[in-house]
């Protein structure tokens, strides 16, 4: 059974679209990437799963229990790092973290100190004096200190310097190796590519693709570049060819389908150069969003 199961989840804010008919599953121990541009519905999905907002229709379960009926119970084992971190401005970091820990039955002190040390967090500063990056670190510590079994990370790396990002990814990997399931929302594809097993791609509120990262890269699309004198791009316009463009005598396109078909086609003409590559996730992504 999936840790997260979402069935036909729909959310409208009045008439404004949130997400429409979204269904997916996340298995135990998985790092599931959730990709989409700003406003596509990533945060809406996470906020629904945390019952910060209520669905218009559809259902969702976490650990096999309905999110909207068992919210408080489920949230004992959930850690959440929101995209924008806001805490009680007047509090000191240490007091905020202790307050956060006081919601959980277990003693979180040790883990809290470990995380704070790892993130190089100054515990005696007031929240109002912290930079955005430092607030984000507070967010990371408060989201992890109770050793959750499921993590929701909403654009987690924004504001972190590269060194901290690396530490953060290492931390998430370690959590994951301990069996923690991670739901990782981002519009930065490089990090999703590095971290995730599977990705869901969301566009204008609809989930348009769920795939294994490798499948997405290897089996779906090839990035093809053909250089040949006097070759017209239209010649290569087969079924499965997209983004066909001609520049400086080179023809570039994405191809999805039987690789032999395109090889035969290219083989029929005299070419000076051919490259066939796996596209980066960025390119796949752009392809989805055209």
> Residues interacting with other proteins, by CB under 8 A?
13, 43-44, 47, 50-54, 71-76, 78, 80, 82-84, 86-90, 99-100, 102-104, 142
3-state secondary structure of 171: helix
Assess contact for 87 and 138: CB atoms under 8 A: yes
For residues 184 and 153, is the Cβ–Cβ distance under 8 A?
Answer: yes
Q: What are the respective helix, strand and coil percentages of the chain, to the nearest 5? A: 35, 30, 35
Of 26 and 138, the one with the shorter C-beta distance to other proteins is 138
DSSP helix/strand/coil, 26: strand
Beta bridge partners of 152: 80, 183
C-alpha to C-alpha distance for 264 and 261, rounded to whole angstroms: 5
Q: In angstroms, rounded to a whole number, what is the distance separating the alpha carbons of residues 281 and 285?
A: 6
Which CB, 150 or 195, lies closer to other proteins? 150
What is the distance between the alpha carbons of residues 240 and 238, in angstroms, rounded to a whole number? 6
Question: At closest approach, how far in Å is the CB of 84 from other proteins?
Answer: 4
Closest distance to other proteins from the beta carbon of 166 (Å) = 26
* Closest distance of CB 92 from other proteins, Å: 12
> Smaller CB distance to other proteins: residue 68 or 235?
68
Contact 133, 160 (CB under 8 A): yes
Least distance between other proteins and beta carbon 43 (Å):
6
Pick the closer one to other proteins by CB: 148 or 279: 148
Q: In terms of CB distance, is 55 or 279 closer to other proteins?
A: 55
Nearest-approach distance from CB 31 to other proteins, in angstroms: 20
């Amino acid at each position: 059974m999936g840790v997260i199961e979402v069935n036909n989840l729909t959310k409208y804010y009045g008439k404004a679209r949130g997400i429409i008919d979204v269904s997916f599953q996340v298995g135990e121990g998985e790092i599931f990437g959730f990709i989409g541009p700003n406003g596509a519905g990533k945060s809406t999905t996470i906020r629904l799963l945390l019952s910060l907002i209520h669905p218009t229709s559809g259902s969702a379960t976490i650990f096999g229990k309905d999110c909207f009926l068992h919210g408080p119970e489920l949230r004992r084992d959930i850690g959440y790092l929101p995209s924008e971190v806001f805490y009680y401005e007047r509090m000191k970091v240490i007091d905020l973290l202790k307050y956060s820990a006081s919601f959980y039955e277990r003693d979180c002190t040790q883990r809290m100190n470990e995380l704070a040390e790892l993130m190089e967090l100054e515990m005696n500063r007031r929240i109002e004096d912290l930079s955005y990056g430092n607030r984000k670190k507070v967010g990371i510590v408060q989201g992890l200190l109770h050793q959750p079994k499921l993590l929701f990370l909403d654009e987690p790396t924004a504001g972190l310097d590269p060194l901290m990002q690396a530490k953060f990814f290492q931390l998430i990997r370690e959590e994951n190796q301990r069996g923690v399931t991670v739901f990782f929302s981002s519009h930065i594809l490089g990090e999703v590519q590095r971290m995730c097993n599977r990705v869901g791609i969301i566009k204008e509120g609809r989930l348009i693709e769920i795939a294994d990262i490798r499948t997405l890269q290897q089996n779906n699309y090839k990035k093809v570049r053909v250089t040949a004198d006097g070759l017209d791009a239209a010649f290569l316009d087969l079924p499965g060819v997209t983004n066909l463009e001609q520049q400086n005598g080179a023809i570039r396109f994405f191809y999805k389908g039987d690789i032999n078909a395109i090889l035969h086609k290219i083989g029929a003409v005299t070419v000076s150069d051919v490259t066939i590559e796996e596209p980066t996730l960025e390119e796949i992504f752009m392809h989805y969003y055209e």
